[in-house]
């Protein structure tokens, strides 16, 4: 597994890199098999922990970063936002993100939150990450499952599902994926809620916003 450098500049914001450029650069460097080429890649994608979905957040092992993601859709206003967080094996905050995405369903928001989290891993050169969310359909997308979204889903869901499938092989063959209950995804949910109030995409490094700090501390066992 690629060991990650966690010395991140405080308060810096990521400049968004086009996904097409990430795909081209990584594909040439890694020559990894894509999800569409067969079952080998899917077979190597682990389901971390196994068993029933936990209700508490779990720390990753040393050398691995963990991504928790979430989407938020307000039915009254039809506005949606996304958010997510990366933490290390001590439960320390590494990076968080939030942004509004306009009118969207909750399923689109969940998939968009996952896609953005994977993009950030590529932008930072992180591989072998542990990905976790509380939406079963988005978790299936992260696993690179053969199962497509059920018939009748909107075109936007299908597009996001495909884009996620294209990103997965670029993140290494030891990536882990798991489902967690809502109580174990509180920090990601907090970032998703922040996405409704920020005017543009935001990324936090090193120091989290105050709105999620208490949940990070609780997950890390410090409060």
- Helix ranges (H only) for 65-182 are 106-124, 136-142, 155-167
pLDDT tens readout for residues 32-41 = 333 332 233 3
Question: Is 90 a domain residue?
Answer: yes
Q: Which of 140, 78, 77, 69 is nearest to 105 (CA)?
A: 78
| Cβ within 8 Å of residue 104, ≥6 positions away | 73, 78, 80, 112, 156
Give the 3-state secondary structure of residue 68: strand
pLDDT of 173 reads: 87
Low pLDDT (below 70) residues in the chain:
1-52, 76, 145-153, 223
Question: Is 25 a domain residue?
Answer: no
pLDDT of 34 reads: 31
pLDDT of 69 reads: 98
DSSP 8-state symbol, 190: H
Question: Is 41 a domain residue?
Answer: no
Question: Is 23 a domain residue?
Answer: no
pTM: 0.78
CA 117 to chain centre: 4
Question: Is 28 a domain residue?
Answer: no
Question: Is 124 a domain residue?
Answer: yes
pLDDT of 30 reads: 39
* CATH code (residue 70): 3.30.420.10
Put residue 69 in one of left, alpha, beta given phi > 0 → left and psi -120 to 50 → alpha: beta
Q: Which of 118, 104, 14, 105 is nearest to 69 (CA)?
A: 118
Question: Is 45 a domain residue?
Answer: no
Q: How many domains does the chain have?
A: 1
| Cβ within 8 Å of residue 192, ≥6 positions away | 70, 71, 72, 81, 82, 83, 84, 98, 109, 113
Question: Is 114 a domain residue?
Answer: yes
Length of the chain: 223
pLDDT of 165 reads: 94
- Segments forming the whole domain that contains residue 130: 54-221
pLDDT tens readout for residues 5-26 = 443 332 333 344 454 444 444 4
């Amino acid at each position: 597994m690629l060991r990650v450098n966690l010395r991140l500049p405080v308060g810096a914001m990521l400049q968004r890199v086009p996904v097409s450029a990430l795909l081209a650069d990584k594909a040439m460097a890694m020559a990894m098999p894509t999800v569409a080429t067969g079952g080998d890649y899917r077979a190597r994608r682990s389901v971390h922990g196994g068993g029933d979905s936990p209700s508490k957040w779990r720390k990753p092992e040393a050398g691995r970063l963990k991504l928790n993601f979430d989407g938020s859709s307000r039915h009254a206003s039809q506005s949606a936002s996304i958010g997510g967080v990366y933490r290390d094996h001590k439960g320390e905050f590494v990076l968080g993100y939030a942004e509004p995405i306009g009118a969207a369903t909750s399923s689109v928001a969940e998939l968009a939150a996952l896609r953005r989290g994977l993009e950030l891993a590529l932008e930072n050169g992180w591989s072998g990450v542990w990905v976790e969310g509380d939406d079963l359909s988005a978790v299936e997308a992260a696993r690179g499952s053969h199962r497509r979204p059920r018939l009748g889903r909107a075109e936007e869901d299908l597009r996001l599902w495909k884009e996620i499938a294209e990103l997965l092989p670029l993140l290494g063959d030891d990536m882990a994926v798991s489902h967690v209950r809502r109580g174990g995804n509180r920090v990601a949910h907090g970032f998703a809620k922040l996405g409704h109030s920020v005017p543009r995409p935001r990324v936090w490094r090193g120091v989290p916003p105050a709105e999620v700090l208490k949940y990070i501390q609780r997950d890390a066992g410090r409060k």
